[in-house]
Structure formats: C-alpha cells, structure tokens
Structure 1
Amino acid sequence: MRVALVDGGGTNIGSVSYALERLGATSRLTADPADILAADRVVLPGVGAAGAGMRRLHELDLVDVLGQVQVPLLGVCLGMQLLFERSAEDGGVATLGLVPGEVVGIPAGPGVRVPHMGWNTLTGLVEDPLLEGIEEGERAYFVHSFASPAGPHTLAATEHGRPWSAVVRSGLRWGAQFHPERSASLGSRLLRNFLREVDR
C-alpha cells in the first residue's frame, strides 16, 4: 500500500510517519502531485496555524490536488481543520472546503483552558469503519485552540466547555482533531483502521 504523507510543513510529520511504520505501512513524505494522486491513502498532518498551513499548500500548488484525491484521505490536528471550508484563525482563512463547516476559536471560561491540551474522552461515537474497535469514553491526546463545533459530519466528539468534533467524515475524507500518533492504543487502532478498513 502506498501512503502519501503530504509535506505541509507540520512539525508532527515525523511522528505520524513513525506511527504508520509501526503498523507496517511505508509512507512517503511528498509534495509531488503525482505521488499524492497515485497513493492508496493520503494523510494530511499539521501543527500550527491555519494561515501558514494554507499558504504552504498554495505555494506547493496542492490545494486543487487534494480536492482531486479519490482515495481515503485523513487530516490530523491542523490537517483536519484545513479540510473544512473556513477557519476563524488568523483573522479568517479560506481552507480546503472538503468537509462542510467551519473552525472557530475555543472560548476560555471557568474550568476551560485554552489551548485544550491533554487527554480527553471521546463521546457520541457514530458507527464508521475508522472507529471500529474504539469504544465510547476512550481517551485521546489533544492540543488545539481552534475546533469545529460538533455537527452532522461528526463521528466522535469531545467535551471542552461544549462539544467539539474529535473525528469527522465527508465521503472519503476523514479528520482527527487529536493526535493519533500520541494517543496510545486508541490512536494506533484508528490509524490501522484507516490503512485497512475504511475502503469498505
């Protein structure tokens, strides 16, 4: 299986690649449109701000390419946020438009720290091949200040002041707000499902 790891400049690229290797997948870090479109799976990682992430994708001429991907695509952390239509970060940024909806800032409040950082439970799980073997209440590792409100494309939510999308799907595009590469057995299971199961 050919896994294209999109070189969007995210600092989590190495750890995502290593997590895939542990599962027996060989990933190729690439910004080559031909590599991305020839892959069996595409992963869009990302850490940082939406504005910088989109600038890099535009500079690499990958915005249209990612829209042309016809195989399962997984956005991770910022990569998930970039799948939506718009992010409120950096004063408002048009993003990839592959998943309906927008990303907004998480409001701080009593008992609600921003950024949302650490282990948190997954709730409201919807049956989906990506979540096979993952149970309600299992915990994943989050680091983010922006998020997508839970909505019709949410497969799993997490509570931080209010419900936020933890996993989303639109067609063959999935996103995980948490870091699967840092989420122990839950993260490994999600990545394994992405590699083996989601084309069912």
Structure 2
Amino acid sequence: MEIVILNTGCANLTSIKIAVKKLGYTFQITSNPDSLLKSKKLIIPGVGTASAVMKILYKKNLVNIIKNMKQPVLGICLGMQIFCQLSEECNGTKTIGILNNCSTVLLKSSHLSLPHIGWNCIDIKKKHLLFKNIQNKSRFYFVHSYIIPVGKYTLATSNYDVFFSAVIQKNNFFGVQFHPEKSGDIGAQLLKNFLEI
C-alpha cells in the first residue's frame, strides 16, 4: 500500500513518521502531485498556519488535486481545518473548500487559556470504522487555537469551554482536531483504523 504523508513545508513530520512506521506501514513523505494521485491513502499533518500551508499548496498546484481525491484522506489538526472553505486565521484565509458552508473559527473562552493544549476526551456522535476498538470518552492530545464548529460533518465532539468538532467526515475525507500521532496507544488505534479503511 502506498501511503503518502504530505510535506507541507511547515509541519514537524517526525511524530507522524514514527507513528505510521510503528504500525508496520511503509510510506512516502512528498508534495509531488503524481505521488498524491497514485497514493492509496493521504495524511495531511497539522502544524503551522492556514495561510502558510495554503500558499504552499497553491504554489505546488495541489489544491484541486487534494479536493478531487477519491482515496481516503486524513487531515490532522490544521490539516483538517483547511478542508473548510475559509479560516479566520490571519484575517481570513481561503482554504480548500471540501466542506460546504463551513469555516474554521477562533476558539473563544471566557476563562480558559489559549491555545487549548493537553489531553481531552471525545464524545462519539456517530458510529464509524474510524472508531473501531476506541471507547467513547477516550482521551486524545490537542494543541490548537482554532476549531471547526459542530455541524453535519461532525463524527465526534470535544469541549474546551465550548463544544467543537473533534472528528469530521465528508465522503473519503476524514479530519481529527487532535494529534493521534501524539496520543499514545489510542491514537495509534485511530491511525490504524484509518489506514485499514
């Protein structure tokens, strides 16, 4: 199986590399359009800003390629947020637009510090193969200041003063707001489930 981890040019890829390798899968780290098209699975890692990532994706002519992919795609954190049409980050950034009528917005709290950093449980709202052998209220590791509000694409939520989408899906596109590659055994299980879809 050819798994591609997208090299966005601004993400720390070490953790995701180690996590996928530990599961026994071979993979390629690249931003080559042909490699993305030929891949069986694509993982878009999540570190950086929406504007920086989108500039790289446009420069490498990857926006339409990603948007039109038919194979399973997993966006992690920022990698999920760019599935929206717009991000409030950097005074508004046009993103890929896979999720219709959906924007990434700033996480606002009246009394909790931002960014949201640490372990938090998820509340599974819809049954899915992505949650195989994962119990409801399992804890994952989060690092983020922006969220996708709860909506029709939400599979699971989490709460940090407000409820937000922890896991989303539209067709072959999956997104997680947390970092499975930094979430120990439970994160490894979720990655395994994605790679087996």
The normalised TM-score by structure 1 is 0.95
Q: What's the CA shift string for 1:130-177, capped at 9, x where partnerless? A: 111111111000000000111111111100111111110000000011
Whether the 8 Å CA contact 1:142–1:178 is kept in 2: the answer is: yes
Give the drift of 1:99.
Answer: 2.1
Distance 2:30 2:166 in 1: 26
Which residues in structure 2 correspond to 1:46-125 (within 5 Å)?
A: 46-100=46-100, 101-110=102-111, 112-125=112-125
What 5-or-longer segments of structure 2 have no aligned partner? none
Distance 2:12 2:176 in 1: 13
Q: Which amino acid aligns with 2:109?
A: A
Which residue number in structure 1 is paired with residue 31 of structure 2? 31
Give the drift of 1:191.
Answer: 0.4
Which residue number in structure 2 is paired with residue 9 of structure 1? 9
% of aligned pairs identical?
35
Whether the 8 Å CA contact 2:109–2:162 is kept in 1: the answer is: no
Distance 1:12 1:157 in 2: 25
Per the alignment, in what secondary structure is the counterpart of residue 123 of structure 2? coil
Distance 2:12 2:125 in 1: 26
Residue 186 (str. 1) matches residue 186 (str. 2): yes
Per the alignment, in what secondary structure is the counterpart of residue 83 of structure 1? coil
Which residue number in structure 1 is paired with residue 41 of structure 2? 41
Give the drift of 1:70.
Answer: 1.1
Give the drift of 1:104.
Answer: 0.2
Distance 1:118 1:76 in 2: 16
> How many aligned residue pairs are there?
196
Distance 2:37 2:68 in 1: 8
Distance 1:148 1:30 in 2: 27
Q: Which amino acid aligns with 1:55?
A: K
Q: What's the CA shift string for 1:3-23, capped at 9, x where partnerless? A: 011111243322112111110
Give the drift of 1:25.
Answer: 0.9
Which residue number in structure 2 is paired with residue 138 of structure 1? 138
Whether the 8 Å CA contact 1:8–1:53 is kept in 2: the answer is: yes
Per the alignment, in what secondary structure is the counterpart of residue 4 of structure 2? strand
Q: What's the CA shift string for 1:68-127, capped at 9, x where partnerless? A: 2110000011101011111110000110111231110011312x2210000001013310
Per the alignment, in what secondary structure is the counterpart of residue 143 of structure 1? strand
Task: Please report the RMSD computed on the Cα atoms of aligned residues, expressed in angstroms.
Answer: 1.0
Which residue number in structure 1 is paired with residue 129 of structure 2? 129
Whether the 8 Å CA contact 2:2–2:26 is kept in 1: the answer is: yes
